[in-house]
C-alpha cells in the first residue's frame, strides 16, 4: 500500500457509475495535502519569538472556540513601530505557521502595516483576495486555506491578537480607559 493514492484504494466512482462518492473524498484529500505541506511543518517547528517579554506594553490572548487554538502575544512599541514581540502558540499547524510568519517579520513593522496585513489576510481568506505583500508575503503559503472556512479562525488568531494589542497600546497612550476602549 506504500505510495498508493487514497482514491485508488477506496474507489473513484459514485453511484451508478457517476462521478462523486469517494472520488470527491480523494480530491478533498489532495486539497488537504496542498494545505498541510512540509513548508508549514518547517514553519511550525521554528516559531520565532517564543519567549514572552518581561515588560510588555500590551499582552493579549486570542482563542478559537471552534478548534481550541490559543495564541498569546506580548508587544512593545516605540512610537508606531514594533520593538519587541513574544508569543506562546498552542494551535494547530495552520495557526502555528501564521504565528511563525508573524514572528519572523513583526519587529520593525508599524501599526498601519500590521493592520493592513491583517485586513489582507481576512480579504484573502473570506473574499478570495490576493495574499499580503511586502515583508509579510510569506503568508501566501496559507492561501489554500481560503477553501476551508472552519480553518480561518486558527489562521487569524495571531492577527486578531496583534491588532488588539496595538489598539490597547494606542488607547493607553491617548489616555482612553481600557473599559471604554472595549465598549
Q: Is residue 98 part of a domain?
A: yes
Q: What is the pLDDT of residue 73?
A: 98
Q: Is the pLDDT of residue 181 over 80?
A: no
The conformational region for residue 160 under phi > 0 = left, psi -120 to 50 = alpha, else beta, is alpha
Q: What is the pLDDT of residue 16?
A: 43
pTM: 0.78
Q: Are 59 and 31 members of one domain?
A: no
Q: Are 20 and 69 members of one domain?
A: no
pLDDT in tens, 29-81: 445 566 667 788 888 889 999 999 999 999 999 998 888 899 999 999 999 99
Q: Are 52 and 122 members of one domain?
A: yes
Q: Are 24 and 108 members of one domain?
A: no
- In sequence order, what DSSP letters do the residues of the chain get, joined into one string? -TT--HHHHH-SB-GGG-B-THHHHHHHHHHHHHHS-HHHHHHHHS-S--SPPSS-SEEEEEE-TTT--EEEEEEEEETTEEEEEEEEEE--HHHHHHHHHHHHH-TT-BHHHHHHHHHHHHHHHHH-PPPP-GGGGGGGGGGGGGG-HHHHHHHHHHHHHHHHHHHHHHHHHHT--HHHHT-
Q: Is residue 110 part of a domain?
A: yes
Q: Are 13 and 81 members of one domain?
A: no
For residue 15, give its domain range. 6-35
Q: Is residue 1 part of a domain?
A: no
Q: Are 100 and 157 members of one domain?
A: yes
Q: Are 13 and 62 members of one domain?
A: no
pLDDT in tens, 118-168: 999 999 999 999 999 999 999 999 999 998 888 899 999 999 999 999 999
pLDDT in tens, 67-118: 889 999 999 999 999 999 999 999 989 999 999 999 999 999 999 999 999 9
Looking up residue 52, the CATH number of its domain turns out to be 3.90.1010.10
pLDDT band at 183 (very low <50, low <70, confident <90, very high): low
Q: Are 76 and 155 members of one domain?
A: yes
Q: Is the pLDDT of residue 28 over 80?
A: no
Q: What is the pLDDT of residue 53?
A: 97
Provide the number of structural domains found in the chain: 2
Amino acid at each position: 500500500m506504500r505510495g498508493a493514492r487514497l482514491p485508488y484504494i477506496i474507489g473513484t466512482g459514485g453511484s451508478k457509475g457517476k462521478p462523486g462518492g469517494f472520488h470527491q473524498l480523494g480530491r478533498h484529500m489532495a486539497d488537504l495535502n496542498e494545505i498541510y505541506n512540509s513548508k508549514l511543518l518547517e514553519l511550525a517547528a521554528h516559531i520565532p519569538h517564543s519567549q514572552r517579554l518581561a515588560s510588555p506594553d500590551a499582552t493579549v490572548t486570542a482563542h478559537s472556540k471552534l478548534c481550541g487554538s490559543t495564541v498569546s502575544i506580548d508587544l512593545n512599541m516605540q512610537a508606531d513601530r514594533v520593538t519587541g514581540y513574544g508569543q506562546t502558540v498552542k494551535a494547530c499547524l495552520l495557526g502555528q505557521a501564521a504565528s511563525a510568519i508573524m514572528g519572523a517579520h513583526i519587529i520593525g513593522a508599524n501599526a498601519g502595516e500590521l493592520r493592513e496585513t491583517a485586513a489582507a489576510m481576512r480579504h484573502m481568506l473570506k473574499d478570495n483576495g490576493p495574499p499580503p505583500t511586502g515583508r509579510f508575503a510569506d503568508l501566501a503559503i496559507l492561501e489554500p486555506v481560503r477553501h476551508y472556512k472552519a480553518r480561518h479562525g486558527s489562521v487569524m488568531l495571531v492577527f486578531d491578537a496583534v491588532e488588539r494589542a496595538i489598539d490597547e497600546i494606542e488607547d493607553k497612550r491617548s489616555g482612553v480607559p481600557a473599559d471604554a476602549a472595549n465598549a
